[in-house]
Chain A
Amino acid sequence: MKTIKAIIASLALFAMFAGTTAQAKVEIQWWHAFGGRLGELLDEQVNKFNASQDKYTVVHTRKGNYSETLNAGIAAFRAGQHPNILMVFEVGTASLMAAKGAYVPMYQLMKDAGQRFNPKGFVSAVSGYYTTTDGKMLSMPYNSSTPVLWVNKDLMKKAGLDPEMDLSTWKRVGNALDAAKAKGIDMPFCTCWHSWVHLENFSAYHNIPFATKSNGFAGLDTELSFNSPVHIKHIQTLGKWAQEGKFKYMGRRNEAGKNFRAGECMLMTESSAGYAGIKKEAKFEFGIRHLPYYGATEAPQNTIIGGSSLWALSGKSKEENKATAAFLAFLSRTDIQAKWHQDTGYLGVTTAAASATKKSGFYKSNPGTDLAGIQMMRNKVTQNSKGLRLGSFDQIRGIIDEEMEGVYNGTKTAQVALDSAVKRGNVLLRRFERANK
């Protein structure tokens, strides 16, 4: 009997202590979209933060891909069950910005928590995406990348080409694809993220508008304009390559990455963040090049980002917001950012992280990893190359993907497809404007 009593007493004592420690620590939730290698690296960051102090605990949960994470966050918000921090990809930015009251703006969060935070420390090409026109930062840039051209050097040699040849323009790329096809290479060209690479970044890179009103930055009454002659020329070229078997369509997202990593595809346009996977899996010599452009245009201007930022959702206690602020400040630390940049191929989103990486000699020992940063920051940004801020943009991307599929399978000309995408997209923009005015 005595022993049982003793056990109960000690258990109660233990529970009391466990209770107090759990109470003392403020727990916050972070919902994100990273699995695989990126998920491991994210987990590492969270563990480091949790171990670095004893006031707060961050719990992270993967909610599926980018779209699924955003939708889970929105659904949870409606039900009042939302996390403190939500990862939102760049496409969802306008939707969140318009939902005033759903989030605590970053500058406000940091000020309320008394957290030192310097928005100027971020690379402006990145932070501009998440900052209002009057200079207030609304969310924290987390992972940002930009599209580059990936080269399978072994296949280039097999095609009788110099693997170091000039591939700066689409015309030169076209010549290389002709040679590859003639040598019987099955998949000379493939691409991921069609709309992002070949229309959105294409527009910025050639300094032509993707949409009016500075691509939506200057107002909700923006209209799509990606059916200009230069756009049509490029999409028509891709369609022609698809018909001639030089370009193989593998899917709307990053499906083609598998073919490249397996050594089947010779040239691929994909995010610079494809680096982590390619470096791990590729059993061939690969190279990274700048995204190609067309001559006799304003290219190369600069490319824009893809990726996500972290939003502090509203309706949380002051204590929890403090924890959120502390964690986000931790993530923007130079050592954390530099490691993330080098591990993943995402851009160093703070200037300090980029220069620290340069100093460490990382770019020298990993040639090509600095191209994405250069490509984004090579020129002063213009109205057309700042980024995109369009409502319902996930849906509009879906429309663009559909219409482009029509060009690739030969049922539509580029003119018809892009005109139709613009028209259908504008309907959604008007609907978004109406719901958010």
Chain B
Amino acid sequence: MEKRVFFKGWWLPALLVAPQLLISFVFFFYPSGQAIWNSLFLPDPFGLKTEFVGLDNFRFLLSDPYYLASFKTTVIFSTAVSVSSMALGLYLAALADRLIKGAGVYQTLLIWPYAIAPAIAGVLWLFMFNGNIGLASYYLKALGYEWNHTLKGDQAMFLVILASSWGRISYNFLFFLAGLQAIPKSIIEAAAIDGASFWKRFGTIVIPLLSPITFFLLVVNIVYAFFDTFGVIHTITSGGPEQSTTILVYKVFSDGFVSQDLGSSAAQSVILLVLVGILTVIQFKYIERKVHY
């Protein structure tokens, strides 16, 4: 049974929700409204004059093959980052969960990369794979593999995925570990006594019991890959070569702040807003049903 509390009068509930409403207005409704409004105009960079163009900014975008390609890039990138960082996070959590000695040390070390800001992580990986001074590119070359992510799109993509997933593994590890430790030992022991192998136990007990956390992490990781990987991409590739690592949010930045095309940038923000809205609805409507709480 759900618990419900009823208030007499309206001022107390209004007062209690006011801060949240205010924050939503200042940080969400007002900027979103601005973006929608600006997407209908074509201003000059200095803001000296502007022209109402209706939906022309959207027409301009949707006829640009590079903008359409950016959707595909975003899907590949977000999927790769979410799946690889969650899989590795789960794997490491499963290992750390079985540790008897020194668990604290391992856990601390595994969480460490999470403390590093995306832009810094980007620079670290860039140093390793830099064509001039990078250690990784040096050894790859010694093995006969030519590394040049400034020219080869697939290598650039690999590098930004690697750098973006790296810090994320820690985050996922932390949540998976907490989830694993919350599973009652008695259930697993009972299954073991019944003769279920490790993989059988993992597949039929652990995974279903972890599903709320997995679902939560999936949502959070996709949002991360969509929006927070900006620093990594900016420092490593700036979206190149040939826009092969230009994900949607990076294009909003580069068209708006590098090219000063604020009309197009605003239109892209609006498209992104709608897209993320749809994605969230799908996740909660369809995937959440399969989750056991």
A interface, CB within 8 angstroms of B: 67, 71, 74-75, 77-78, 95, 98-102, 248-252, 255, 258-259, 262, 392, 394-395, 398, 401-403, 405-406, 408-409, 424, 427, 431, 434-436
Contact = CB atoms under 8 A, between A and B. Distances in A.
Nearest to B57: A431
Given A71-B260, A431-B42, A435-B43, A102 B48 contact: yes
Given A67-B258, A394-B258, A405-B240, A435 B42 contact: yes
Given A99-B46, A395-B261, A402 B240 contact: yes
B47 A77 contact: yes
B290 to A, nearest CB: 41
Contact of B132 (A259, A402, A427): A259
B231 to A, nearest CB: 15
Contacts, number: 80
A409 B241 contact: yes
A401 B258 contact: no
26 contacts: A71-B260, A74-B45, A77-B46, A98-B44, A99-B46, A101-B48, A102-B46, A250-B132, A250-B150, A251-B150, A252-B150, A255-B132, A392-B259, A392-B261, A394-B258, A394-B259, A398-B254, A401-B240, A402-B241, A405-B150, A405-B151, A405-B241, A409-B152, A409-B153, A409-B241, A431-B261
Contacts of B261: 392, 395, 431
A36 to B, nearest CB: 17
Contacts of A402: 240-243
A427 B255 CA distance: 14
Contact of B60 (A101, A250, A431): A431
Contacts of A424: 66
A95 B43 CA distance: 13
A3 to B, nearest CB: 51
A252 B240 contact: yes
A257 to B, nearest CB: 10
Contacts of B46: 74, 77-78, 99, 101-102
A403 B241 CA distance: 9
Nearest to A95: B45
A405 B242 contact: yes
A219 to B, nearest CB: 17
Given A102-B48, A392-B261, 20 more contacts: A67-B258, A71-B258, A75-B257, A77-B46, A95-B45, A98-B44, A102-B46, A249-B148, A250-B132, A252-B150, A252-B240, A398-B259, A402-B241, A405-B240, A405-B241, A405-B242, A406-B242, A409-B241, A435-B43, A435-B44
Given A71-B258, A259-B132, A409-B152, A435 B48 contact: no
Nearest to A396: B259
Interface string B140-162: 00000000101111000000000
Contacts of B131: 250
A74 B150 contact: no
Interface of B: 42-48, 51, 60, 64, 66, 131-132, 148, 150-153, 240-243, 254-255, 257-261
A392 B255 CA distance: 11
Contacts of B64: 427
Nearest to A409: B151
Contact of B151 (A67, A98, A408, A435): A408
A74 B66 CA distance: 26
Nearest to A401: B240
Pick the 10 closest A-B CB pairs, nearest first: A395-B259, A405-B241, A78-B47, A99-B46, A102-B46, A402-B242, A251-B150, A249-B151, A409-B151, A435-B44
Contacts of A67: 258
Given A252-B240, A401-B240, A395 B44 contact: no
B118 to A, nearest CB: 19
B257 A71 contact: yes
A215 B95 CA distance: 64
A169 to B, nearest CB: 27
A394 B151 CA distance: 20
A102 B150 CA distance: 37
Contacts of B132: 250, 255, 258-259, 262
A398 B150 CA distance: 14
Nearest to A100: B48
A99 B242 contact: no
Nearest to B150: A251
Contacts of B258: 67, 71, 394-395, 398
A102 B152 CA distance: 41
Contacts of A403: 242
A255 B64 CA distance: 30
A424 B64 CA distance: 9
Contacts of B48: 99-102
A250 B45 CA distance: 31
Contacts of A427: 60, 64
B254 to A, nearest CB: 8
